[in-house]
Structure 1
Amino acid sequence: MPSRPGSLGQLRAAVADGSVRRRSVKDEIRENLIERLRSGGPLFPGIIGYDDTVVPQIVNAVLSKHNFILLGLRGQAKSRILRALTTLLDDEVPVIPGCEIHDDPLAPLCAGCRQRVRDEGDAMEVGWLGRDARYVEKLATPDVTIADMIGDLDPIKAARSRLTLADELTMHYGLLPRANRGIFAINELPDLAGKIQVGLFNILQEGDVQIKGYPVRLPLDVMMVFSANPEDYTARGKIITPLKDRIGSEIRTHYPATRHEGMSITTQEAWTTRTGNLELQIPEFIREIVEEIAFQARTDARVDKRSGVSQRLPISLLENVVSNAERRALLADEPVVAPRVTDIYAALPAITGKFELEYEGELRGADAVAREIIRAAVGVVFTGVFTGVDY
């Protein structure tokens, strides 16, 4: 494999002969996705239950070069999907070393990098940025400011450089410009204050923004992806309509459609490989009951549907069930850890914190509701196992 270009002149030559490809982030992700589709490789390893629903919609959004948003309740793998988009980026891209916004050496945006290219010419050093460093994620909260997201004017930098505040060189870049030439993800988008959302849709539509009254042109090369709760992502919620209108695709996630899909996720995510000399044997019906508890909770009238019941519930529950069985085996000096139904009742702390209750549920109490959900789940699994048996 030829060595990477180390200077601007070498990079120009490499781009000219085709050994280094120069393209926008969305084109890069689109073309890498096309190659993966043709090769038949997995698009999002570890994501279960979305092959016929969510994944095709994400593929369509990427092929359309859209910024997109994932709408779903908690525990539906939204953040994991967004982070998995980095696998569609190139291994490395050339950048100007030391640049805060990872400028393209062949088309720098910031004034400092443009000046550096003019001064150093083809001898200017070129750095390389890995794919993981090209992903920036921010959890939206009401106290996030324009300075955090987009940037601010730095009076100290202006004073030291003897520049006016109107000079572009006095700007301190926020998270969004620092995601230039990469992917910028915002979780819980509607929680951003209205003026921050306005700043975002200006970036999405026009590529410019005003920093304390000074217009700064930022034609960023960035793919923007978001996540949100469906309840908040409405005109009645906390999202402003112009921003919603500028997001290309709106994709809804969901909980596992079947118990066996949920069991596959829980088996993949739960930590059940314990250290020590004890043998672990988890009966299949225990796994089914653990998963059925989540399904029962999602349909229970006393559980708040707007909050949802995270897929983390059966994951944490199975871990606690195994731990209680492990504790019993250690105390009784048994060689085998074999979870029982009683271990599920002992794992109530893994259930009660994973759902929000409606008024009726609050009157009953979280522990009482959880016990009744366990009882219902055991009944459903028992009936399924012994269907047609005459007692």
Structure 2
Amino acid sequence: MTGVNRPIATTVGGLRASGHIHKTLRAELRDNLLGALREHRNPWPGLHGFDATVIPQLERALIAGHDIVLLGERGQGKTRLLRTIVGLLDEWSPIIEGSDLGEHPYDPITTASMRRAADLGDDLPVAWRGRDERYAEKLATPDTSVADLIGDVDPMKVAEGRSLGDPETIHFGLIPRSHRGIVAINELPDLAERLQVAMLNVMEERDIQIRGYVMRLPLDVLVVASANPEDYTNRGRIITPLKDRFGAEIRTHYPTDLLDEVAIIRQESELMAEVPGYLVEILARFTRGLRESSAVDQRSGVSARFAIAGAETIAAAAIHRATRQGEVDAVARPVDLETAVDVLGGKIEFESGEDGREDEILDHLLRSATAETVKAHLRGLDFDPLVEAIENGVMVITGEQVTARDFLAGLPSLGESELYDEICARLGATNDGQRASAIELSLEGLYLTRRISKESGSGEVIYG
């Protein structure tokens, strides 16, 4: 955050001369959110599937100035949503240069800053913080201490000669240092109860208590948190007084629309090779099938990271094949989907009664997702010429290390039929890699509708 549009005022006098107006954090967030809505700008870029549910609730909470806790299973975008709130802060914000808490030059709150402001007057030096510097995030872990969140006495300052009663002997923790900013605590139920107690005064009275000190610091901080509803409601890990301090409790959810699921996979995955849209769609349908399956433990959820990792895995399989076989175009194919399932199965929690059936369940749901995708994209095509050619004894061979060119060369001739071209046109396939992937999808669809057979082994798949 350097250079671009940084204000030039370097003292309080220059800041006043520039016409700068001091706003509280909540007023700043509220005004910027309402401004974006008024101008029909999307203040939540990169979020999909929350437009009619989570986002309106979040916007109302911010307008009301409430601290917020997001409840949801893993992989529902809670952390991303919290980080997106940062975009509602001003691009640049003035602070008293050198202050521990990033106090506004018009409103010092610590003893040291108030003394400097009184001594220097309009010459009090001013620095500028970018919006990203006003967001702090903490993962609740068992080793988190009160000193980490609130603060503690600094023995070095005591050793310098200050008395224990001097407020300047305190080393402030994460929450006070987030003054005039946002502090996010991930997995709040995992925070020890004594630490949750330590947060009570910070969230309501906005003061801090450290080893007998009670400092009336008017902290201007927005506390946001994430929690798993299983921990939150059943195990009672968030103490009741702290739950009461949060003004808004918002439930997140997995995408309800297939297109939103596909958009999340495309947005979040880092693909090293081309992955056709229909393969991403299969992964999205597969993930949704897992979330609806009675054989899967839905209390633990099926994270969006499952499908994202799946897309990255099949892209890696494609680049692996292209590198080993000397292919020009690295394009993922349906045969690569099985490689993804092999390595991702461990990310799913199955019900206790399904021991030993995990592979069978995953295979069934992947086949269902593939069949639905074939039906959605290739419905209405006449596959009879291809089926007849295979029934006459032609076998089509594919596999993890079979190149697109070899696969295409092994396809049966269909005479005057333009089926191959029609398949490729439907699926937007132009080069050899894309054409091989598209036709392989149609063969898999014929197998799933029991019009042809399929045998797998030794890294090869034979349709016959």
Same fold (TM over 0.5): yes
Q: Which amino acid in the other structure matches residue 104 of structure 1?
A: H
Question: In the superposition, relative to structure 1, how do residues 222 and 377 fare at CA in structure 2: closer, same or farther (>3 Å)?
Answer: same
Runs of at least 4 residues off by over 6 Å: 386-391
Distance 1:272 1:9 in 2: 52
Within a 5 Å distance, the mapping from 1:9-20 to structure 2 comes to 9-14=13-18, 19-20=19-20
Q: Measured at CA, do residues 264 and 100 of structure 1 come closer, stay the same or move farther in structure 2, by a change above 3 Å?
A: same
Cα distance per residue 1:117-157 (max 9 Å; x no partner): 12222212111111111000101112211110000011221
Match of 2:82 in 1: 82
Q: Do the aligned residues in 2 keep the contact of 1:32 with 1:88 (CA within 8 Å)? A: yes
Rounded Cα–Cα distance in structure 1 between residues aligned with 2:343 and 2:27: 44
One-letter amino acid of the structure 2 residue matched with residue 193 of structure 1: A
Tell which deviates more after alignment, 5-14 or 163-172: 5-14
1:268 aligned partner: 267
1:20: Cα distance to partner?
0.9
Rounded to whole Å, the distance in 2 between the matches of 1:336 and 1:207 is: 59
Shift of 1:312: 1.0
Offset, 1:301:
2.5
- Show the counterpart of 1:99: 99
Larger radius of gyration: 2
303-312 or 335-344, which deviates more:
335-344
- 1:306 matched to 2:265? The reply is no
- In the alignment, the residues of structure 2 paired with residue 335 and residue 132 of structure 1 have an alpha-carbon distance, to the nearest angstrom, of 42
Secondary structure at the aligned position of 2:214 is classed as strand
Q: Which residue in the other structure is 2:66 paired with?
A: 66
The 5 Å alignment of 1:204-215 reads 204-215=203-214
Match of 2:400 in 1: none
Aligned counterparts of 1:246 and 1:25: Cα–Cα separation in 2? 18
Report matched runs for 1:1-391 at 5 Å: 4-14=8-18, 19-160=19-160, 162-234=161-233, 236-272=235-271, 274=273, 280=274, 282-361=275-354, 363-364=355-356, 367-384=359-376
Shift in Å, 1:347: 1.6
Identity of aligned residues (%): 42
1:340 to 1:235, Cα distance in 2 relative to 1, 3 A: closer
Post-superposition CA distance 1:181-221 (Å, at most 9, x none): 11111111111111111121211111123211221222101
Contact 2:75–2:304 (8 Å) recurs in 1: yes
Q: CA deviation at 1:353?
A: 3.6
SS class of match (1:185): strand
Question: 33-42 vs 228-237, which deviates more?
Answer: 228-237
Q: Which amino acid aligns with 1:209?
A: I
Aligned residue identity for 1:88: L
Residues in 2 aligned to 1:153 and 1:382: alpha-carbon distance in whole angstroms:
65
Give RMSD over aligned pairs: 2.2
Counting matched residue pairs gives: 379
TM-score if structure 1 supplies the norm length?
Answer: 0.90
| More relative contact order, 1 or 2 (CA 8 Å, 6+ apart) | 1
What is the Cα deviation at residue 2 of structure 1?
Answer: 10
CA distance in 2, matches of 1:339, 1:2: 46
SS at match of 1:364: coil
Q: Which amino acid in the other structure matches residue 328 of structure 1?
A: R
Whole-angstrom CA distance in 1 between matches of 2:373 and 2:6:
60
Name the CA distance, whole Å, in 2 between partners of 1:154 and 1:109: 19
Unaligned runs of 5+ in 1: 275-279
Could you tell me the TM-score, scaled by structure 2's length?
A: 0.77
Cα distance, 1:348 vs. partner?
A: 2.6
Give 1:357's aligned amino acid: F
Return the letter of the residue paired with 1:143.
Answer: D
